[in-house]
Amino acid sequence: MTEGTSPAPLTGVVVIDLGQIYQGPYATFLMARAGADVIKVEPLTGEPLRRRESEGVGPSFPLAFLNSNKRAVTLNLKEERGRELLRTMVERADVLLENFAPGVMDRLGVGARELMELNPRLVYASGTGFGLSGPDRDRLAMDVTIQASAGVMSITGTPEAPPMRAGPAMADFLGGVHLYGAVVTALFDRSRSGRGCLVEVAMQETVYPTLLSDLGLQYRAGGEQAPRRGNRHGAVAPYNVYATRDGHIALICTADSHWQSLLEAMGRQDLADDPRFSTTSLRAENEAATDEAVSEWAARLTREEAYEITRAHRIPSAPVRDLSEVTNDAHMHQRGMLQWVDHPTLGEVVLPNSPLRFHQLEQPDLNPSPVLGEHNKEIYGDWLGLSLQEISDLHDDGVI
Amino acid sequence: MTEGTSPAPLTGVVVIDLGQIYQGPYATFLMARAGADVIKVEPLTGEPLRRRESEGVGPSFPLAFLNSNKRAVTLNLKEERGRELLRTMVERADVLLENFAPGVMDRLGVGARELMELNPRLVYASGTGFGLSGPDRDRLAMDVTIQASAGVMSITGTPEAPPMRAGPAMADFLGGVHLYGAVVTALFDRSRSGRGCLVEVAMQETVYPTLLSDLGLQYRAGGEQAPRRGNRHGAVAPYNVYATRDGHIALICTADSHWQSLLEAMGRQDLADDPRFSTTSLRAENEAATDEAVSEWAARLTREEAYEITRAHRIPSAPVRDLSEVTNDAHMHQRGMLQWVDHPTLGEVVLPNSPLRFHQLEQPDLNPSPVLGEHNKEIYGDWLGLSLQEISDLHDDGVI
């Protein structure tokens, strides 16, 4: 059922992509891999990820990661002729997406209201940290400050140490994929109403649902937040990361049957009738002793041995893998989620596919990210109909 | 532009929701808040979150959180009459969504192939840990084991301590929102092709992009993964969480101008010409001294004082807030992302809205989550046309 026989789902959808860094570009990456025609519009010096390249630190891996299958043009929105070109593109486009701070596009005179008047079928998509309204609208937002304000840090790490950042850029990417969902929903709505709309996603709001386990524990505790739990669960044991001879394994027993299987796997049936361990809540009460039994066993094995034994016994477990292991994961490569690509500026690198998989529908081949302004002639010439002379003049005048 | 004057975007879309725990129910929560008619189908004892309620631990906050605006029926898929009812619903539905382990629905005889033959317009959505194909397909997947295998733990926490779990259930919710995006994309595709399709999302694949900052650093280091960085960045300083008199503040200086502003805010212009701090990379090289200067200053203030001063100076910063502060956040309440609801079983609780915001389109009022089988008569009677006697017999026979 996986071979594609029908066109990719977003074929023919034209997206004007003013996205920068992570949130916006991830949303439009998902669109591009689903077949949309994504035109990445950058200032003359490039979007911030591109500008870091020119600071002499070498090619930007994040830029390559997020911009496959897009076409790239330069455009100076501080020039009226630049804004005029944007309006011309918007008249022919389905989606405009940006993740500037709130109000930036309005102040340039190309805000949602103006552009949707120009093209009532336009879906105008805004990604921000805190949203387009409310008292915190204009707060500076980056992944790490969102993690602080949204509560992530308060539930990550151990009670002895300060609140801890989650390593992944989870706020940026949760923001990006919600923005994708909002845009596609608006396109579906337009297929029936004939009208576009303004869609909006605030990173902080996309993070809130991920706190759910801890919000649930807090509700149960009458409103009090428990101390940070590190790798432990609090109400379930074993639930931890255990050191093996050559790495770590994560292992949890959410059911009593898991614990009985684990005792068998560890050759510790002598504990089967130990009253300290007979139920989940008793094991949680005796967490230190429970963890000690598992730690003793794990310390004698390699990570792979510990994982294979627990897997064979159907106990939820996983080796704690590093980035190289994940990037070279045979499973994700076999599924086509990851692939080796010979990128024009980065060389041989592993780039991702979209996590959205549509059986029976085609998917475009992965086309490496464009260089700055690579498609100026194609977009401004072939698509908008400007002459080579006009394009050359716009370039000389600092408009594109 | 925010007042809704047109119907909600997914009005009229009928979703058969076999989702359980977090991933599936979050996807259908987003659908329900966007106006879809979501029918939550549960086994006779309820989905796992509901079963925990009956274990005597009290009402489930997560169940209430994720199931607003859904209707709930019971259905025993192990009975052929139960499967027959499912097929009848599928014939009239637009979407069927499930996040069982791969193969469960196939073994019951109601897999994607069978159901899509019955209704070629059906969008069949599968959410799993590792996907429907590949060597790891059948691995047990929970948020914590995905975090281990997907690399999250390898980049969270400090180098001295073991790899650390990110506190939020990020794998579950990234999986859920990607699944939402895939379903709506398929609905958009169907609006043009007339055909549904099988869409698939694997949690591990949705996590991979969030590693991007660390993948970029690894690429730049020639393939070597740096030690865990705790709250620090490595190449940017200040970038950390600092203790104040009554809590913590996250603060970063991504530009030299931020540092100059910070010196002003701290009253430390004496450091303006200090050669250790003159550029981002020098401050990163002298991270300990940089952090010491900020820590000394922060330790004398309250968290709110430190935040207000840095905010006034346009330095990216945020108070590290706990769950109660986030849940009572005036900004998110004002925006309608959070609201106090009198829930029939939980009492007064704060429940979330959808982070997807469609200006000009209506949104249904928040309708608290249903009890088990609350809508059996409405769905099996009013919708499918069964008589009260038939419904009563199905109930007595353990089918619904």
DSSP per-residue string spanning B220-265 = HTTTPPPPP-TT--SSSSSEEEEEETTEEEEEE--SHHHHHHHHHH
Average pLDDT by consecutive 10-residue portion of chain A (400 residues)?
78 98 98 98 96 81 98 98 98 98 97 98 98 96 96 97 97 98 98 97 98 95 94 92 98 94 97 94 95 98 98 96 98 98 96 97 96 98 98 98
CB atoms under 10 Å from CB of A61, counted, come to 21
- Say if residue A102 is preceded by a cis peptide, omega within 30 of 0: no
Q: Does the pLDDT value for residue B2 go beyond 60?
A: no
pLDDT score of B114: 98
The count of other CB atoms within 10 Å of the CB of residue B259 is 22
CA distance to partner chain B, nearest, from residue A233 (Å): 10
**Inter-chain CB proximity A200 and B359 less than 8 Å:** yes
- Phi, psi for residue A40 in degrees, rounded to 5: -80, 115
Per the CB < 8 Å rule, is A197 touching B361? yes
Tokens in use for A322? 């590093």
- What's the pLDDT band for B74 if we cut at 50, 70, 90? very high
Provide the shortest C-alpha distance from residue A343 to chain B (in Å).
13
Q: In chain A, which ranges are E strands?
A: 14-17, 37-42, 70-74, 95-98, 123-128, 198-202, 239-244, 247-252, 317-319, 338-343, 347-352, 357-358
Domains of chain B with bracketed CATH: 14-209+337-396 (3.40.50.10540), 239-320 (3.30.1540.10)
Cα B5 from Cα A397, distance rounded (Å) = 44
- With contacts defined as CB-CB under 8 Å, which chain B residues touch A320? 148-149, 153-154, 163
Element (DSSP H or E) covering residue B242: strand B239-244
Q: Is the dihedral of CA B86, B87, B93, B96 positive or negative?
A: positive
| Nearest beta carbon to residue B140 from set A180, A314, A359 | A314
Q: ipTM of this model?
A: 0.98
B388 CA: distance to closest CA in chain A (Å) = 36
Cα–Cα distance between A117 and A119 in angstroms, integer?
5
Q: What is the DSSP string of A105-138?
A: HHHTT--HHHHHHH-TT-EEEEEESS-SSSTTTT
Closest residue in B to A61 (Cα) is B216
Question: pLDDT tens digit string along B306-352?
Answer: 999 999 999 999 999 999 999 999 999 999 999 999 999 999 999 99
Work out the mean pLDDT of chain B and round it to a whole number: 96
Q: Is B339 on the interface with A (CB under 8 A)?
A: no
Residues A259 and A136: their CA atoms lie apart, in Å, by 47
The 3-state DSSP class for residue B384 equals: coil
Structure confidence by residue, pLDDT tens digits, B126-175: 999 999 999 999 999 999 999 999 999 999 999 999 999 999 999 999 99
Among the listed residues B205, B201, B200, B99, the one whose alpha carbon sits nearest the alpha carbon of residue B150: B205
Predicted pLDDT of residue B3: 56
Q: Which residues of A touch B50 (CB under 8 A)?
A: none
B80-98 average pLDDT score:
98
Token pair of A75 as six digits: 């455009």
Distance CA B47, CA B370 (A): 13
Please give the structure tokens belonging to residue A213: 């386990």
Q: Token pair of A47, please?
A: 């979007």
| pLDDT one-digit tens code per residue, B215-255 | 999 999 999 999 999 999 988 999 999 999 999 999 999 88
Q: Is A220 on the interface with B (CB under 8 A)?
A: yes
pLDDT of residue A54: 73
Please give the share of chain B, as a percent, with pLDDT higher than 90. 95
Q: Provide the shortest C-alpha distance from residue A302 to chain B (in Å).
A: 16
Active-site option among B172, B189, B322, B342:
B172
pLDDT at B66 over 90: yes
Instruction: Inform me whether the C-beta atom of residue A58 falls under 8 Å from chain B C-beta atoms.
Output: yes
CB–CB contacts below 8 A, A to B: 459
Mean pLDDT along residues B370-378: 97
* pLDDT at position A53: 79
Paired tokens of A140: 């500076």
Phi and psi (nearest 5°) for B51? Answer: -60, -35
pLDDT of residue A57: 75
With an 8 Å Cβ cutoff, is A153 touching chain B?
Answer: yes
In chain A, residues with a C-beta closer than 8 Å to the C-beta of B202 are 335, 337, 355, 357
Which of these, B216, B86, B188, lies nearest to A182 by C-alpha position?
B188
